[in-house]
Structure 1
Amino acid sequence: MPFVIPAEGGCQCGEIRYRLIGQPIFLGVCHCTDCKQQSGSAFGMSLRMRKADVELLQGAPKQWTARPDNGNPKICVFCGTCGTRLWNGPGPLGNLSVKPGTLDDPSQLAPRYEGWTKRKLPWLRIEGLEASFEEQPRRPASAS
């Protein structure tokens, strides 16, 4: 996935700013209940990044721990002022799942897979995906 770095992003109110300095591991769409509730939409998206490739530039985000459909605890990082979710993690491999809608320019990104399709809304179609998983994917082929 071609991605111009560094790339910057932040929360809706501007209190939190961050910079991505490395290439993403992958970008995916998730249809789990947690991601739909968090995004307030039909699905959520996650841009998997190495923790070392995400630099906090401004502000002090807050966090809480959720228990999504897969049952594993998930650290949710957000702006304490406006509530924008910025990323989740770190996960078991030390990676963060950045919310791509918080990037200043997410237009260069396109998802490669979708997870939790058993919870996908029946009217939703996403073109150009390489793989779909009924539940949580173990690891997309492109993530190795």
Structure 2
Amino acid sequence: MTQLPATGRCRCGAVTLTVTALPVMTAACHCTGCRKMSASAFSLSMMLPAEGLEVSGVAPVRGGAGEEPCTHMCCSVCHGWLFTRITGMDGLVNVRPTLFDAPDWAMPFIETMCEEKLPWANTPAAHRFDRFPEPEDFGSLMEAYRDRQT
């Protein structure tokens, strides 16, 4: 288990992220937008309580585009994708786990937007969703993730 607080940095080191709360879930998203933002087959996220993330260094700027319900924040120097806030999920923030030296934070527990998944892009996620989990399912998924971590 990763010791808290844990720090991660963008590629250039201009932004430091400090995590003071354990993730409540990890995910891989296969949507076209995430694939383009991450320049990969999917994006990885670790969901944290919003108050469990501290940002220091240069101020992040909004990145990404489109009319999605997400606010993607990036380093203003290297433009690396740092974290995302989702409208309606104000108590959580999705952080890019690969910014930290915590391999368990990068392994996805759920996969989302599998209907847009590239056929060869597979992960070890325990749960898969064609779109996103229903809001009423998040509590049981977070509980199952927590149980798996202990």
TM range (shorter): 0.7 to 0.9
* TM-score for the superposition, normalised by structure 1: 0.86
Q: In 2, Cα distance between the equivalents of 1:130 and 1:46?
A: 15
Residue 133, structure 1, aligned to residue 129, structure 2 = yes
Give the CA deviation at 1:106: 3.0
Give the CA deviation at 1:130: 1.8
Counterpart AA for 1:50: P
Residue 143, structure 1, aligned to residue 142, structure 2 = yes
Counterpart AA for 2:29: C
Q: In 2, Cα distance between the equivalents of 1:93 and 1:119?
A: 23
Give the CA deviation at 1:87: 0.2
Residues 29 and 113 in structure 1, CA contact (< 8 A), matched pair in contact too: yes
Question: SS of the residue aligned with 1:89?
Answer: strand
Counterpart AA for 2:97: P
Corresponding residue for residue 111 of structure 2? 114
Aligned residues: 138
Give unpaired runs (5+ residues) of structure 2. 144-150
Deviations 1:22-47 (A, max 9, x none): 01110000000111001000000111
Q: In 1, Cα distance between the equivalents of 2:64 and 2:79?
A: 15
The 4+ residue runs of structure 1 with deviation greater than 3 A are: 64-67
Deviations 1:95-138 (A, max 9, x none): 111011222x03132211101111111112222x2210001222
Counterpart AA for 1:45: L
Q: In 1, Cα distance between the equivalents of 2:22 and 2:114?
A: 26
Percent sequence identity over aligned pairs: 26
Residue 35, structure 1, aligned to residue 34, structure 2 = yes
Residue 86, structure 1, aligned to residue 85, structure 2 = no
RMSD over equivalenced CA pairs, Å: 1.8
